[in-house]
Amino acid sequence: MSKTTRVPFWLIRFRNFLVLLLSNRLAAVGMFLLLMFVVMAAAAPLLTPYRPTGNAVSANYDPPTWITLINGPVGYSQNAQFSALSVNMSSSGLATIPTKTGNSVALDFAGSSPGGTVQITETLSYPYQGSPKQIIGDAMILIPGSGALNKSFNVTAYVNRIGVSRFLFWSPTTINKTGTYNPSPAINSGNPAFNSQLGIGQQFSAANYVFAAEKANYQYVLTISVPAGFSGRINVSSFDLNLFGNTWGIFGTDDAGHDIFTQVVYGARLSLEVGLVATGIGIGLGLLIGLMAGYLGKIVDEVLMRTTDMLLVIPFLPLLIVLVATIGPSLIYIILLIGFFSWMGFARVIRSQVLSLRERPFIEAAKASGAGTGYITVRHIFPNIVSLTYVNLALTVPASIVTEAALSFLGLGDPTVITWGSMLGAANSVGATVSNLAWWWILPPGLSIALISLAFILLGYAMDELFNPRLRRRR
Amino acid sequence: MGLRGYLVKRLLNTVVLVIFVIILNFVIFELLPGPNGAIANLTGRAKGNPQAIHNLQLQLGLCQSFDSNGKCIPPSLWSKFFVYFQNMLTFNFGQSQQTGNSVLHDMIGTGRLWNTLELLGTATAISLIVGILLGVVVAARRGGVFDSTMVTVSLTTFSLPTFFMGLLLILVFALYLPWFPSGGVTPSTWLLGTPPLLQQILTRIRYLFLPALTLTLFFYGGNLLLTRATMGEALTEDYITTARAKGLPERTVLFKHALRNASLPIVTNAALAFGGILGGAIITETVFNWDGLGLWLYNAIYWHDFPVLQAMFYIIALCVIGANLVSDIVYGMIDPRIKYE
């Protein structure tokens, strides 16, 4: 045989195999779905800027924003934030501004100031036709140094719906000492004290009282009134008002305001990891045990197959449940356990295939020409069972993924990660009253599990048809 | 070896399996550090009346006796296993840590077992009937539009996990179309007084509907696909051609000639799939708050109630082993071709 450079044989075979496989329509669909999830898993950090276990991104139970395409824009809002602040003074020389950023500013008052007011203003042109679900604001005054000030000054903050009305957010407060000052009650529409300061009942929220369900222009204003001769520095920091809308992102938010899209995207990683690693372990064990039982035969075969039969009868999910409940929930244990209990069926298939191969003439011939057990196994038996391995791989992966999801659903998943199963489990357990069940929290993870399983099952069935001559004939 | 030999062999096999399950249970619940480790730690570090602690340790089986210094002599592995084995054979599972009642009472006396049997029985029966009937029809029209539609639909319902299917059904049929209750076995108002019998039955069926549908959708697909496959094989046999040539009606050919011969793998599969259905039932009961053994197991996980966990695993394993034995016996009796090796 001449050794010229050419495409390796296995590569050609693999390519031919792929072409043949993908000529089956269902297999092509399966491959497309699988590629979609692989891309999702690989490019997770590019697809979403958030982390699955990160902070809340919006109000809780927000449906996706595209719901406005179905129901129309009326009544729906999204997150909004006021612009960077600008400073206006009643007289131009009142204070100097040494530093100023988007939401903080420092004001220096010389002792010679004539007195007057400084207005710090942020603006918002509210574009939505629904009120926000929640508003959370901040306004912090920090006076550095220690001891009393030379003169006291007043501070107040309000929101102004331009041309309509004004809402007091920080009732006028006199400050005469150094230190840190925050509005009290805290600016949060979830805070009953804040709502009652605005003069609305406990059952109402400042969010829809202040921000009407229509497009309008708003100002968020902090006023500092200093008397003549006031000297010193006043730092205004984190002067901000965040409006959390009642819709969010592609898949909305869960019960704590986390981004569901992020959890789904990162869940693809975990699911593929669980499915492939557990199946890898299962296939490896199955190959080893099946080959040993089939090829060594006799007492080895008897012992291995009796054990396999016994393990096959033991109900798989309940066994996993008690094992994980006793050992402790951790993703690694779960993967190992699923892998360790998914080899039995495959081992039986391999054993029967090896038993039939062992009697074939080409094995006899190899034996006769002096080939050892290892050589025969690797060069003659193994290539003949590769197709079985592919089929089994494709059908075991979804089983592993669904098993992990079931464990997570039952609350036995790794508590440090968020998988599709644990998302559904959380949705189910907080949805004790059915009206809490959010479709946008159930459909994305559920459909993901279903589609990823379907992808593997379609590929598996197509390969089965490809490799199984009896099925091929009848098509 | 005749049929009797075959049955004896199967029975022996079953006994070995039961012993295997008891050993597995023993390893998981007595040897792994989880459940007993915590208790041993607690009693080992307890301060107070030494006599009371000793009594507790004796009672929990942590110590067999005490030497002259009051030091604990733990029981040997064998004596521990012997006691455990006895307990398992006599269904003595100890007390539930949630309720303090005996585990067996909580399992049967509270109606949980009945609730689970009601759900499982309904779903298994319907899915077998529907799966087999549809499978026969589909096999008769192999290659047609109905065939490919049914195969796709059953592959889809097959790959939808039970918990997702359950949540979907609740969303559609309990939340958006409020036709059925979203969970529970009976309405809570029944605690005050039960309505007349007919109304009771109707209400129970309304409560049973969604969980049973979930389990049925999970299970019928396998039956359908298997029936389609075995029927497909049987329909190519010569005796079918003969039957058709005789001019028998197609229904007779399908159900009397083909299905009868194709039914063996279906019977076996129904028994083998029993473990899977039990797993599905645990999840379905959790989704629908169905107060059966599955929900009990779910709560036991949450409360780390190990006596309940161990009892449940043992009972489920026994059920599956029993189902296998029954299917083996049925197989041995109805299949004339079987070689009693």
Q: What is the DSSP string of B242-268?
A: HHHHTT--HHHIIIIIIHHHHHHHHHH
- What are the tens digits of pLDDT across the range A37-78? 999 999 989 988 888 888 888 888 888 888 888 888 888 888
- Most confident region among A33-37, A243-247, B231-235, B267-271 by mean pLDDT: A33-37
Q: Which helix (H) or strand (E) holds A176?
A: strand A165-181
Residue with token string 């509210």: A126
pLDDT band at residue B252 using 50, 70 and 90 as cut-offs: confident
- What's CA A95's distance to the chain center, in Å? 48
CB B307 within 8 A of CB B97: yes
Let me know the angle formed at the C-alpha of A287 by A282 and A291, rounded to the nearest 5 degrees: 150
Nearest to A450 among B17, B164, B279 (CB): B164
For residues A266, A272, A277 and A280, what is the CA-based torsion angle, rounded to 10 degrees? Answer: -170
Is the pLDDT at B80 greater than 70? The verdict is: yes
Instruction: Please state whether the predicted TM-score (pTM) of the whole model is above 0.80.
Output: yes
Residue B14's Cβ-count burial label (10 Å; 0-12, 13-18, 19+) is: middle
Q: Closest approach of chain B CAs to the CA of A2, in angstroms?
A: 48
pLDDT at B42 over 50: yes
Provide the pLDDT for residue A9.
77
Residue with tokens 């299905």: B259
For B62-100, b/e burial (b = at least 16 CB within 10 A) is bbeeeeeeeebeebeeeebbeebeebbeeeebbebebee
Chain B contact for A317, CB < 8 A?
yes
Q: B76 pLDDT band (50/70/90 cuts)? A: confident
User: How close A414 comes to chain B (CA, Å)?
Assistant: 14
Cis peptide before A444 (omega within 30 of 0): no
Residues of B in contact with A322 (CB under 8 A): 28-29, 309-310, 312-313
Q: Give the CA distances from residue A218 to residues A20, A127, B67, in Å, rounded to whole numbers and listed in that order.
A: 63, 11, 82
> What pLDDT, on a 0 to 100 scale, did the predictor assign at position A474?
42
Chain A positions in Cβ-Cβ contact with residue B320 (cut-off 8 Å): 313-315
Contacts B170 to A, Cβ<8 Å: 434, 437
Indicate the residue type of B242.
T
User: Tell me, what DSSP letter sits at residue A60?
Assistant: T
- Is A35 in CB contact (< 8 Å) with chain B? no
Residues of B in contact with A327 (CB under 8 A): 32, 34
Q: DSSP string of B263-301?
A: HHHHHHHHHHTHHHHHHHHHHHHHHHT-TTHHHHHHHHH
Report which residue type is found at A160: N
At A390 the pLDDT is 82
B324–A313: do the CB atoms touch at under 8 Å? yes
Is A428's CB within 8 Å of B282's CB? no
3-state secondary structure of A227: coil
What's the CA gap between A449 and A315, in Å, rounded? 22
Structure tokens at A34: 């699988």
Q: Is A77 exposed, middle or buried (0-12, 13-18, 19+ CB in 10 A)?
A: buried
Assess whether pLDDT exceeds 80 at residue B12: yes
Q: Look at B219 and A470; give whichever has higher pLDDT.
A: B219
| Distance, CA of A135 to CA of A79 (rounded, Å) | 10
When pLDDT is cut at 50, 70 and 90, the band that residue B83 belongs to is: confident
The two beta strands, A216-226 and A116-126, are antiparallel
Percent of all residues in chain B with a pLDDT value above 90, rounded to a whole number? 6
Please tell me the distance in Å from B317's CA to the nearest CA on chain A: 6
Q: Do A424 and B167 touch (CB under 8 A)?
A: yes
* Residues whose CB is less than 8 angstroms from the CB of residue B305 and which lie 6 or more positions away in sequence, other chains included: B96, B97, B98, B299
At residue B129, what is the residue type? I
**How many residues would you count in chain A?**
475
Residue given tokens 């072409």 in the structure block: A19
Do A442 and B164 make contact, defined as CB atoms within 8 angstroms? yes
Q: Which chain B residues are Cβ-neighbours of A323 within 8 angstroms?
A: 28
Say which DSSP state B76 is in: P
State the pairing for strand pair A134-161/A216-226.
antiparallel
**DSSP H helical segments within A23-162, as ranges?**
25-42, 44-47, 67-71
Tokens of B174: 């309990």
Q: Tell me the two tokens of residue A31.
A: 């491959």
Inter-chain CB proximity A326 and B35 less than 8 Å: yes
Could you tell me if A328 lies within 8 Å of chain B, comparing CB atoms? Answer: yes
Alpha-carbon distances of B153 from A272, A390, A445, A458, rounded to whole Å = 24, 24, 20, 13
- Of B301, B294, B323, B269, the closest CA to residue B211 belongs to B294
What chain B residue is nearest to A441 in terms of C-alpha separation? B167
- Strand, coil or helix: what is A121? strand
Q: How many CB pairs under 8 A join A and B?
A: 142
By Cβ distance, the residue of B20, B279, B286 closest to A318 is: B279
The answer to whether A473 faces chain B, any CB pair under 8 Å, is no
Going residue by residue through chain A, which has 475 residues, state the pLDDT in tens, using 9 for 90 and above: 455 567 777 788 778 878 888 888 888 999 999 999 999 999 989 988 888 888 888 888 888 888 888 888 888 888 888 888 888 888 877 888 888 888 889 988 887 777 888 999 999 988 888 888 888 888 899 988 877 888 888 999 989 888 888 888 888 889 888 889 998 888 888 888 888 888 887 677 888 888 888 888 898 999 999 888 888 888 998 888 888 988 888 898 888 889 999 999 999 999 999 999 999 999 999 999 998 888 887 888 888 888 888 888 888 888 898 888 888 888 999 999 999 998 988 898 888 888 888 888 888 888 888 888 788 888 888 877 877 888 888 888 988 999 999 999 998 888 889 999 999 998 888 865 566 678 888 899 999 998 998 899 888 888 877 776 555 444 3
Structure letter (DSSP) for residue A216: E
- Is residue A355 a contact partner of residue A294, using CB atoms and an 8 Å limit? yes
Q: Which of A323, A446, A458 sits opposite B168 (nearest CB)?
A: A446
Tokens of B325: 């034995």
Single-letter residue type at A310: M
Residues of chain A with Cβ-Cβ distance to B232 below 8 Å are: 474
Pairing of strands B65-66, A165-181: unpaired
What average pLDDT does range B31-39 have in this prediction?
A: 61
What domains sit in chain A, N to C, each tagged with a CATH number? 20-50+256-471 (1.10.3720.10), 74-244 (2.60.120)
Interatomic CA distance for residues B137 and B71, integer angstroms: 73
Instruction: Tell the residue number behind the tokens 């891309």, with chain if given.
Output: A39
Contact state of A316 with B279 under an 8 Å Cβ cutoff:
yes
Min Cα–Cα distance to chain B from A187, Å: 35
Tally Cβ neighbours within 10 Å of residue A285: 18
In terms of DSSP bridges, do strands A105-109 and A232-244 run parallel, antiparallel, or are they unpaired?
antiparallel
Q: How far is CA B61 from the centre of its chain?
A: 31
Instruction: Show the domains of chain B with their CATH numbers.
Output: 112-291 (1.10.3720.10)
How far apart, in whole angstroms, are the C-alpha atoms of residue A372 and residue A366? 9
Test B170 with A411 for CB contact under 8 angstroms: no
A115-126 tens-digit pLDDT: 888 999 999 988
Q: What is the mean pLDDT of residues B55-68?
A: 71
